[in-house]
């Protein structure tokens, strides 16, 4: 592969925001490693879509990021595919309520694992390749990293750790690797398809949330993708920063 090949690994890239990020990066001439856990069909469909645009430019790799052996295998295969890695986007994330009196050890392991532990160890595994490429890491944080979301204590703790992970890695991996984060606000409503009726967001809940956003509207997945491209391509002197893409929501929490 030529030295100017750009390769991005996007975790949780099979659908929703991750898939949109993958499409935007591909359009910006990145080759894509599309990571998935349960959504194999969606991931392989996305890889086929991208390969139809540019041959041999995308692959899909499955891994449970809470399984350290599978995480290590993902890192190895991702960096070996085109013999380099330029960008790691830690997008994969579990998100669900954990009322304080009902939260379990399994909830803790799942939410801390996907939002904090996995991004840390993926960065560790891929640091040599990213350093060689003078690459970037983008972590998907959350506006609730600084002000907690009620009934989501473990998730909020995990994202607070993700915020500090971004700052710490920016210091540890400088000067060759830049590390930044994106903190989305209301971009896509949570996937409620597998939730109990009482756990789903009602139309009234959604309306209340939108009323708290200064721009008075929900964002789009492409807003996150464009912000990532800005940090990767147009901000060479920016590292250790968290960019809120939230319509101003964090001003009113």
Q: Tell me what the mean pLDDT of segment 156-178 comes to.
A: 98
Catalytic-role residue among 36, 120, 155, 237:
155
Q: What is the pTM (predicted TM-score) of this model?
A: 0.91
237: annotated active-site residue: no
Provide the pLDDT for residue 199: 52
Check whether the bond before 175 is cis (ω within 30° of 0).
yes
What pairs with residue 7 in β-bridges?
31
Specify the 3-state DSSP secondary structure of 48.
helix
If pLDDT is split at 50, 70 and 90, which confidence band does 1 have? very low
Q: Tell me what the mean pLDDT of segment 40-56 comes to.
A: 98
Which candidate, 78, 89, 81, 76, places its Cα nearest to that of 24?
89
Across 190-228, b (16+ Cβ under 10 Å) vs e yields: eeeeeeeeeeeeeeeeeeeeeeebeeeebbebebbbebb
If pLDDT is split at 50, 70 and 90, which confidence band does 207 have? low
Q: Tell me what the mean pLDDT of segment 53-81 comes to.
A: 97
Residue 123 CA from chain centroid, whole number: 13
Separation between Cα atoms, residue 85 and residue 71, nearest integer Å:
16
Write the pLDDT tens digit of every residue in 99-153.
999 999 999 999 999 999 999 999 999 999 999 999 999 999 998 898 899 999 9
Provide the pLDDT for residue 210: 72
Separation between Cα atoms, residue 119 and residue 11, nearest integer Å:
9
Q: Tell me what the mean pLDDT of segment 30-58 comes to.
A: 97
CATH superfamily of 6-251: NAD(P)-binding Rossmann-like Domain (3.40.50.720)
Q: Average pLDDT over the chain, rounded to whole?
A: 91
Separation between Cα atoms, residue 111 and residue 117, nearest integer Å:
9
Contact 115, 158 (CB under 8 A): yes
Write the pLDDT tens digit of every residue in 210-240.
767 888 777 899 999 999 999 999 999 999 9
């Amino acid at each position: 592969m030529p030295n100017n090949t750009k390769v991005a690994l996007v975790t949780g890239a099979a659908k929703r925001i991750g898939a949109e990020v993958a499409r935007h990066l591909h359009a910006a001439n990145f080759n894509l490693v599309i990571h998935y856990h349960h959504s194999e069909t969606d991931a392989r469909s996305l890889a086929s879509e991208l390969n139809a645009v540019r041959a041999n430019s995308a692959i899909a790799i499955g891994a449970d990021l809470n399984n350290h052996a599978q995480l290590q295998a993902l890192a190895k295969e991702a960096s070996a595919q085109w013999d380099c890695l330029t960008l790691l986007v830690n997008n994969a994330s579990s998100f669900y309520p954990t009322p304080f009196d009902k939260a379990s050890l399994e909830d803790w392991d799942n939410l801390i694992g996907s939002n904090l532990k996995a991004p840390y160890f993926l960065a560790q595994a891929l640091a040599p390749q990213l350093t060689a490429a003078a690459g970037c890491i983008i972590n998907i944080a959350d506006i609730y990293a600084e002000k907690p979301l009620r009934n989501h204590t473990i998730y909020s703790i995990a994202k607070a750790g993700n915020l500090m992970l971004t700052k710490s890695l920016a210091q540890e991996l400088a000067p060759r690797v830049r590390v930044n984060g994106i903190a989305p606000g209301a971009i896509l409503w949570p996937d409620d398809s597998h939730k109990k009726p009482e756990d789903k967001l009602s139309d009234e809940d959604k309306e209340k949330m939108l009323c708290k956003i200064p721009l008075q509207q929900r964002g789009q997945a492409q807003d996150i993708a464009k912000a990532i491209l800005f940090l990767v391509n147009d901000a060479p002197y920016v590292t250790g920063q968290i960019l809120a893409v939230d319509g101003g929501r964090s001003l009113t929490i």
